[in-house]
Amino acid sequence: MAHIEVIAEYSDRGAMLWADAYPGAYSRGETVAQALEKFPKALSAYASWAYGAPLPDLAESDFVVTHAYKTDLAVEDADSDVLFPSERLPMDMTEYTQKKILCIRSAQDFEKLVTSIPQKDRALRKSRRTFYGKIPCSAREMAEHTNRTTAYYANGLGLAFENEGGLLENRKRLFAAIESAPNFLLPRVHEASDGELWTLRKLLRRVLWHDRIHAYALWRHAITFWQKERIANPFFFTADK
């Protein structure tokens, strides 16, 4: 198969890799090399969720890092601001609609996972602080944190937006706001108040990734408290991801 192009974002403390053609797919590690070792399983699981079937026989050699960005951000805690070269390109309605459907399904699946947790307020991991404050520790906190970022992403795209309702309801409101902007498919680059650069393509990737990274944390911790069969796994996670 043709090589899968990978974007690397790394610091002296950690690395995060993204598959350019699979928005939302990612892997993490202490180094780029370690994250690359994890990518075959991570991308196969993502493809199972997004497209209904894994990518067969993936190996580390199937990936090539085409762009690498060193950053001072807390990559080890999943901080990110990279804008891919491809995310500056135009998008047509067909592609937008396909990614919109994935983003809405991702919110539905996140809510399905949360619903399956027997005790929503039980702390599932130790509390600590990161670049964005105290990490969410319970299922309810993880769902609320994931939902709160909706306004942050929308504001990055220059949209006036405030969070209302649950994750799925808020996600649908986000797309209504995007589509209300004139010529919203044009490849505009927006600079947020913190200096981060955003495009519509980047927002769609970040929405899918943010759902997935917190859903994985929730699922991984929940199965240590309850039987794995009891906890919904709509994202096709594996414990050794």
Helix axes 139-156, 167-180, angle to 10 degrees: 10
pLDDT averaged over every residue in the chain: 93
Domain boundaries, the chain: 4-82, 86-230
Residue entry with tokens 């399983």? 41
Per-residue pLDDT reduced to its tens digit, 49-101:
999 988 888 888 889 999 999 999 999 988 999 999 999 999 999 999 999 99
Rounded Cα distance between 182 and 147, Å, is: 25
Whether 102 has a pLDDT exceeding 80, the answer reads yes
Report the pLDDT value the prediction gives residue 83, as an integer from 0 to 100.
Answer: 96
Rounded Cα distance between 167 and 112, Å, is: 11
Per-residue pLDDT reduced to its tens digit, 157-177:
999 999 999 999 999 999 999
Rounded Cα distance between 166 and 170, Å, is: 6
Structure tokens at 147: 């939902």
Structure tokens at 96: 């937008």
Whether 130 has a pLDDT exceeding 80, the answer reads no
For the chain, percent of residues with pLDDT exceeding 70: 98
Q: Does domain 86-230 have CATH number 1.10.3720.10?
A: no
- DSSP E strands in 23-162: the ranges are 26-29, 63-70, 129-130, 133-134
